[in-house]
Amino acid sequence: MSNTDRVPTPNQWKEHIKRLTAGGASYADVRYYSEDLSGNISLHNGNLVNPYSGGSGIAQQSESGYGVRCLYGGAWGFAASSDPAQITATFDRALDNAKTAAGRVSFPIRLADKEVLSGEFVSPCARDPFDVPIEEQIAFLNGLDAVLNQTGVAQRAINLSATRTKIEYYDSEGAEIRKQIINFFPSMTVMGRGTSGDMQRRTYKPPRLGESRGWEIMDPEHWHTEGERLVRELNELLVAPACPVDTRSVIILPDMMFLQVHETIGHALELDRILGYELSFAGGSFVRLEDFGNLQYGSTRLTARADATVPNSPGSFGYDDDGVAAQNRLLIDRGTLVGAISSRQTVTEANAKAGRDIFAGSGGANRACAFNRTPIERMTNINIDPGNDGNLDDIIADTERGIIVSGDRSWSIGSNREQFHFATEIAWLVEDGKRCGVVRNPSYQGMTLDFYRSLTAVGDASTWEVHYVPNCGKGAPGQIMQLGHGIPVCRFDNVKVGE
C-alpha cells in the first residue's frame, strides 16, 4: 500500500463497511495497517551477520495492507490485500467467504455487547529505535561485544529487534480506533563448549526496565554489567556437574517462571482453545467450562490475572481487534479458576454452552498479528500476583533441598497443556537453606495441576518482574504475537528434575 494517494479516508472505509452490511453482513470491520515496520540488527562474533541464516546483519522489513472481517449467517469471512486497487474486491471477497462458511454453522456466532469506542493508543517510547542512526546502534553493539569477548565464550550473539505498527480500525457498530505500537526486544547470548562436550549458553532478555521501551533502555552500564554476569555464569556452566535426576523443590526465577505461566496458565486459559477452536493444530485445554468457579488450579498462594493495563508492556495495547478497551481480569483467585482469556465471540458461546453466565463481557484479548491475519484469543499480560513469602533469599533460606532455575532453554507441553517439560540454561542447587553450586543441563517436568497445587512460596513485590514475549505462536495460518508476564519468584515442591 505504498501508493498512499489511493488509500481510503476514514469515511471511505466506513462506506465500504456499510456496503457489506447492506449486502447482508450482520457485522463487519476493517483493520488498515498504514505501517508495519520491523528492523533487526545482529552482531555475531563481531560480524554484522545473522547467526542463524548467515544473511545480512541489518534487515528492515515493511508491510502495509488491510484485512476485512465480516459475519454472515453466523459465520466469519475474511479477506486481506496489500493492493489499494483491490479494496472493493477484497470487501466483496470477505462477504463471499462468509457466505460459503455460512453453509456449515454449528453455533451461530454472536458478539457480546461492547461499549462502542473511539480512541487512540500510543505505546510508551522515549526514543524510537527506528530514529537511532545505524552507526550509533553498531557502536553500542561493538562496545557490548567487547565485554562478551572473553575466555570460555565461543559464540557471541547480540540482537536488536524493533517493530513499529500503525493501525486504523473501523467497525459496523461505529468504533474508530487508532494505534501506534513500538516494540523493542534487545537480547544477548554467549555460548561455550563445556568439559562434558555439550554446548552451554546464557542469554539476557531484559525485563521491563522503566516506563517506556524505546532505545532509552540501552544503557551501556546496565548492559555491560549484565554481559559480565552472563560470561561469569557461562564459565561456571562449562565446568559444572550435571543436574541431578531426582525429585526436589524447584525455585523458579521470573526469567523462567514467565514461560511456565505462559505455557501452562496462559495458553491453557485461552477460551478459544477451551472451546475447541485450535484442535486442528495448536491444541485444546484440559479446562472445561464446568471448571470455572470450581477447579482448584493451584494452591491458595496462586492468584493469576490477565491485565492489559500494566504500564509499558507489549501485552498492553489500548484496545483489542474487536475494539474492546484494555481489561484487567482475574483468571485464578487464590487457587480457584475464575476466568479466561477471551473475546466478544467466545464469551457468548461459552456462556450459552455452559448454560450460565461465566463471563461478563469480552476480556478484550482478541488480537491479530498482521493485516492479513484474523484476530484470535491472545494473551495480554498474564501475571501472578506477588505473595507474602519474602524475597528470593528468604525463599532459599526456607528450602531444605531444592534447585533454582533460570533462563529458558527448551519447552514442550502436552496438547491440552496438562503436562510439560522445560529445560533451563542454568541452575543452582539448594541444600539446607543455602544456595550451592551451579549445575548444567537442568530440566524439570510435571503435570500442570499437581504442579500448581504444590506451589509453596510466592515472592513479594521485590521479586516481581515484567518479562516480555516477542514470539508467541498460535493459529492457522500461523500468527506470532507479543505480550508480557508480570511474575514473582515461585517455589514448587516435589518436582521431578533432570532429563
Partner 1 sequence: MTRNIRSKNSPVFVFDTLNQLREHALTRGVRATFSWQREDSRLVRYANSAISLNTTEDVTRLYVTALEARRSVSTSAVIDPYDVPAMLRIVDRAIEMLPHASEIHYARTMPCLSEDTYTEANFDPELATIDGAEITAFVERATRGLETDDIMLSGNFSTGVCERAEMSTASPHINYWRGTDAGITLVLSSLKDKWEINAEQFVWRRADLDPESIYERLAWMREQYLTRPGVRLPLGAYSIVLGNAALSEYAFFLSYLSASGRMEKLGYSMLSTDDVGKQVLSPLCTMVEDPALLATFPVPVDSYGRHRERRAIFDRGVFTGFIREQSEADEYGEIPTGHDVTQLSLALLPGDRDVRTIQEFAALPRDRDILYIPYLHYVGLVNPSAGLITGTSRFGALFLKQDGSIELPYNVRLTLSLRDLFGKHLSWLSAYSEPYGSSSSYGARNPGTVLVPVLGGFEDVEIEISNESF
- Residues between 109 and 168 with contacts to partner 1, criterion CB under 8 A: 133-135, 138, 142, 154-155
Among 117, 209, 325, 447, binds partner 1 (CB under 8 A): 447
CB 486 within 8 A of CB 459: no
**12 vs 62, beta carbon nearer partner 1:** 62
Which one of the spans 14-22, 356-364, 382-390, 471-479 is the region binding partner 1 (CB under 8 A)? 471-479
**191 vs 397, beta carbon nearer partner 1:** 191
| Three cell numbers written together for 45 | 562474533
Contacts of 241 (CB under 8 A, 6+ apart): 437, 439, 440
CA distances from 204 to 40, 107, 177, 234, 492 (A): 17, 46, 35, 12, 24
| Three cell numbers written together for 244 | 541431578
Residue 293 binding target from partner 1, Zn ion, none, CB below 5 to 8 Å by type: none
Which one of the spans 195-203, 324-332, 395-403, 451-459 is the region binding partner 1 (CB under 8 A)? 195-203
Nearest to 92 by CA among 9, 32, 22: 22
8-state DSSP, 400: S
What is the rounded distance in angstroms from the CA atom of residue 154 to the CA atom of residue 231? 11
Q: How far is the CB of 242 from partner 1 (least distance, A)?
A: 10
Residue 445 binding target from Zn ion, partner 1, none, CB below 5 to 8 Å by type: partner 1
Check binding of 1 to partner 1 (CB under 8 A). yes
**278 vs 465, beta carbon nearer partner 1:** 278
Total residues in contact with Zn ion, by rule CB under 5 A? 1
Among 419, 428, 455, 482, binds partner 1 (CB under 8 A): 419
Mask: binding to partner 1, 257-296, rule CB under 8 A, as x and -?
------------------xxxxxxx-xx-x----------
Mask: binding to partner 1, 53-72, rule CB under 8 A, as x and -?
xxxxxxxxxxxxx-------
What is the rounded distance in angstroms from the CA atom of residue 85 to the CA atom of residue 230? 52
Q: Which residues pair with 411 in a beta bridge?
A: 422
φ and ψ of 269, to 5 deg: -105, 15
Mask: binding to partner 1, 293-312, rule CB under 8 A, as x and -?
--------------------
**82 vs 328, beta carbon nearer partner 1:** 82
Q: Which residues pair with 426 in a beta bridge?
A: 406
Residue 47 binding target from partner 1, Zn ion, none, CB below 5 to 8 Å by type: partner 1
Which one of the spans 44-52, 145-153, 166-174, 295-303 is the region binding partner 1 (CB under 8 A)? 44-52
φ and ψ of 137, to 5 deg: -65, -40
Residue 294 binding target from Zn ion, partner 1, none, CB below 5 to 8 Å by type: none
Check binding of 92 to partner 1 (CB under 8 A). no
Contacts (CB under 5 A) with Zn ion, residues 467-496: 472
8-state DSSP, 263: I
Which single residue is written with the C-alpha cell 527506528? 130
**331 vs 472, beta carbon nearer Zn ion:** 472
**350 vs 458, beta carbon nearer partner 1:** 350
**177 vs 261, beta carbon nearer Zn ion:** 261
Check binding of 355 to partner 1 (CB under 8 A). no
What is the rounded distance in angstroms from the CA atom of residue 445 to the CA atom of residue 419? 8
Contacts of 417 (CB under 8 A, 6+ apart): 263, 264, 267, 268, 273, 283, 285, 286, 448
Residue 477 binding target from Zn ion, partner 1, none, CB below 5 to 8 Å by type: partner 1
Check binding of 101 to partner 1 (CB under 8 A). yes
Pairing between strand 443-447 and 27-44?
A: unpaired
Contacts (CB under 5 A) with Zn ion, residues 443-472: 472
Check binding of 369 to Zn ion (CB under 5 A). no
Residue 472 binding target from partner 1, Zn ion, none, CB below 5 to 8 Å by type: Zn ion
Residue 13 binding target from Zn ion, partner 1, none, CB below 5 to 8 Å by type: none
Which single residue is written with the C-alpha cell 495495547? 317
Residue 372 binding target from Zn ion, partner 1, none, CB below 5 to 8 Å by type: partner 1
| DSSP letter for each residue of 244-288 | P-EEEEEEE-HHHHHHHHIIIIIGGGBHHHHTTTTTTTT---S--
CB atoms within 10 A of CB 15: 12
Which one of the spans 165-173, 191-199, 213-221, 453-461 is the region binding partner 1 (CB under 8 A)? 191-199
Residues in the chain: 499
What is the rounded distance in angstroms from the CA atom of residue 185 to the CA atom of residue 471? 10
Among 10, 12, 85, 494, binds partner 1 (CB under 8 A): 85
**11 vs 104, beta carbon nearer partner 1:** 104
Mask: binding to Zn ion, 229-268, rule CB under 5 A, as x and -?
----------------------------------------
Judge residue 418's burial from the number of C-beta atoms within 10 Å of its C-beta, 0-12 exposed, 13-18 middle, 19 or more buried: middle
What is the rounded distance in angstroms from the CA atom of residue 268 to the CA atom of residue 334? 18
Pairing between strand 490-497 and 455-458?
A: antiparallel
CB 314 within 8 A of CB 480: no
**393 Rama class: left (phi>0) / alpha (psi -120 to 50) / beta:** alpha
What is the rounded distance in angstroms from the CA atom of residue 239 to the CA atom of residue 284? 41
The binding site for Zn ion (CB under 5 A) comprises: 472
